[in-house]
Amino acid sequence: MHPLLVEGLSDAVGFVGGALAGFWLARLLGFDPFAEGYDGASVLAIAAVGLGGGMGLGAARRWRRARQAERKER
């Protein structure tokens, strides 16, 4: 598979997976990112979604680096 395709797909999967994890964690804690208005709880939920997406993207990039290092060792 082309390296740029692997990079794009892994970034997308990592970001979306992390954002979904952040969303469901916020919902589990009782915060709704889709609540009407911008009160403190909805802003916190939106931040959780963003942080989750960023952490998922970081995890995808760490996975790619580990995969590249593994290939170089061969």
Q: What is the mean pLDDT of residues 57-74?
A: 92
Write down the mean pLDDT value for the chain: 95
Three-class secondary structure assignment of the chain: CCHHHHHHHHHHHHHHHHHHHHHHHHHHCCCCCCCCCCCHHHHHHHHHHHHHHHHHHHHHHHHHHHHHHHHHHC
Average the pLDDT over 41-65 and give the result.
97
Across residues 25-46, what is the average pLDDT? 93
Answer whether 53's CB lies under 8 Å from 18's CB: yes
**CA gap 65, 45 in Å, rounded:** 30
pLDDT of residue 2: 92
